[in-house]
Structure formats: C-alpha cells, structure tokens
C-alpha cells in the first residue's frame, strides 16, 4: 500500500501515547542503548531519551514518510532514525543488530507472523524486550470494517480484509518465558473520550483502515468516499456521540521480558 501519513497518525496523540508511557513504567533496567522498533513519526522515541538521558536511542521504521517526519521534527542529541523492517531486525540484518532495551509500541501486529518473531527479537535485547500491541481485533470498529469492506463493490477492489489478531497475555508469556527470562504480561482496556466529527472514523482511518482506504483511493476516489460514508454511518451507530464526547473502548496487550 502507499506510505503512511504522519499527519493523520498524530491525531489523538495523547490517547495513542498513553499506552507507551504505561509500558515504560514497567521497565526496571537502565539501558545504555535503546532501539525503538516501529518508531513512527518519532514523537515517542524522544520520550525514551528523556526517560534515560544518558542512553543512545535509535528509532527504526519501515515507512519512509514516518522516518522523514521524525528526522525533520524530532531532532534530539543522542537520537537517530533509520529505515528498517522488523523482520530484518529479528534476523540481525538491519542497521542496528542489538541494544540493551528493544521496545515496540503498536507495530508488531502488522506482521502476520509476529508470534514467530518474538523470540528472535527478544534475543537481540541485552537487558529487556518490551512491546505493546492492540487487542481490539474484534471490537465493533474492526468488525464493521471487515463487514462493510466485504460488500459489493468494495470487496472487488480490496478482497478479504484480514483479521489482524494479536495474542492474549498468557500466550505471549508462554512464547517468551524461558530460562534466564522474567516475563511480565498484562492487558488494559482504555476508554478514550474523543471529540469532533466522526472521531472513530478519523481514529481508525489513520491506522487499521488505511490499507482498505488506500486500495479504494487508488482504484477510484469516488468509491473511497462512498465507502467512508457507509462505514462512517455504521461507526456512528456503534459509537454514539454524547454531549461530553464519543467514548472509544480500546484494549491493548503489554509484555516486558527482562533477562535475569
């Protein structure tokens, strides 16, 4: 698909950033080198440098647009940004082959084989491997995305929309628990209060719905507009607006694996 949009992603920055801070609060080590895997536009990579000011931090992402935005808007001493795929990192083929702390925020779920990559990624970390992934694959927002995209004429363009299911904490614990490791796995369901017109549509259009929207846009912009109108109406019914805003429940799964 076409590249990501940093501008669209940076909507709802506070809500998207909160899980990252919650993840870091459970990291007990003091890393000298850090890799931020799937750093996006870099606005959270700088948080790592602030938390560990003596550390060297490298932000990695497979999106040229995200890396360009990070380099332009998030300059900081001791932080650099490189283009890389997480599979290359897992197999030690990327520009960075290891660090004391390897951290990933809402990126691993985009790799269908991410479960198989966890142990190799953890092996690259000298101290700690920490990640957070969305666990809302069966939320109304995603169910409706798959349902509307399966209707004609959209399905002729986009085909079946994959259910990008992540694991439960217990499964991640089972995958990473091994001699020499202590694994902390948990989940949190946030209730975000969003504001403005069609906030849930704007939220998911910057992330989970992007592949569908890009495919429709490339085929026919009018078809994308038609899809957004139909999908948006379904989202408004599933997530009704209140006088104080629109609540969006969002489940996330967290793991911090530390070498003992």
CA-to-CA dists, residue 237 to 144, 232, 233, 247, angstroms: 11, 9, 6, 12
Asked if the structure places residue 241 within a domain, the reply is yes
Q: Is cis: bond before 153, omega within 30 of 0?
A: yes
Q: What is the mean pLDDT of residues 4-21?
A: 75
Asked if the structure places residue 11 within a domain, the reply is yes
pLDDT at 230: 97
The contacts found for 155-160 with CB under 8 angstroms, 24 or more apart, are 157/215, 157/216, 157/219, 157/220, 157/223, 158/211, 158/212, 158/215, 158/216
Task: Say yes or no to pLDDT of 10 above 90.
Answer: no
Task: Give 255's pLDDT tier (boundaries 50, 70, 90).
Answer: very high
Asked if the structure places residue 122 within a domain, the reply is yes
pLDDT at 1: 45
Asked if the structure places residue 209 within a domain, the reply is yes
pLDDT at 246: 97
d(C-alpha 136, C-alpha 260), whole Å: 32
Task: Say yes or no to pLDDT of 21 above 90.
Answer: yes
The distance of Cα 123 from the centroid of its chain, to the nearest Å, equals 21
This prediction has a pTM of 0.90
Q: For 190-246, how does the pLDDT look when each residue is reduced to its tens digit (9 = 90+)?
A: 999 999 999 999 999 888 888 899 899 999 999 999 999 999 999 999 999 999 999
Query: Is 127 in contact with 258 (CB distance < 8 Å)?
Result: yes
Round the average pLDDT of the chain to a whole number and report it. 91
Rounded to 10 degrees, what is the CA torsion of 19, 25, 26, 30?
A: 130
The tokens describing 165, both together, are 């299911």
Query: Is 52 in contact with 30 (CB distance < 8 Å)?
Result: yes
Asked if the structure places residue 92 within a domain, the reply is yes
Looking up residue 76, the CATH number of its domain turns out to be 3.40.50.150
φ and ψ at residue 162, rounded to 5 degrees: -65, 145
Q: Number of folded domains in the chain?
A: 1
pLDDT at 124: 94
Structural domain of 53 = 6-259
d(C-alpha 256, C-alpha 260), whole Å: 12
Asked if the structure places residue 141 within a domain, the reply is yes
Asked if the structure places residue 1 within a domain, the reply is no
Task: Say yes or no to pLDDT of 163 above 90.
Answer: no
């Amino acid at each position: 698909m076409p590249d990501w949009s940093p501008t669209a992603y940076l909507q709802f920055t506070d809500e998207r950033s909160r899980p990252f801070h919650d993840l870091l609060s459970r990291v007990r080590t003091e890393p000298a080198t850090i890799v931020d895997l799937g750093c996006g536009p870099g606005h959270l990579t700088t948080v790592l440098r602030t938390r560990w000011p003596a550390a060297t931090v490298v932000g990695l992402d497979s999106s040229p647009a995200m890396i360009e935005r990070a380099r332009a808007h998030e300059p900081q001493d001791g932080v650099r940004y490189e283009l890389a795929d997480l599979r290359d990192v897992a197999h030690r083929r990327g520009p960075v082959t290891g660090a004391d702390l390897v951290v990933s925020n809402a990126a691993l779920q985009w790799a269908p084989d991410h479960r198989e990559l966890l142990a190799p990624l953890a092996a690259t970390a000298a101290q700690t491997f920490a990640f957070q992934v969305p666990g809302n694959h069966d939320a109304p927002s995603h169910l409706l995305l798959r349902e509307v995209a399966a209707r004609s004429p959209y399905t002729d363009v986009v085909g079946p929309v994959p259910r990008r299911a992540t694991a439960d904490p217990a499964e991640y614990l089972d995958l990473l628990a091994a001699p020499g490791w202590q694994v902390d796995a948990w989940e949190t369901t946030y209730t975000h209060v969003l504001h403005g017109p069609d906030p849930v549509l704007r939220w998911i259009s910057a992330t989970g719905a992007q592949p569908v929207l890009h495919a429709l846009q490339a085929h026919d912009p009018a078809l994308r507009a038609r899809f957004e109108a139909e999908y948006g109406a379904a989202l408004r019914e599933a997530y009704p607006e209140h006088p104080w805003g629109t609540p969006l429940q969002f489940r996330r799964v967290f793991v911090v694996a530390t070498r003992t």
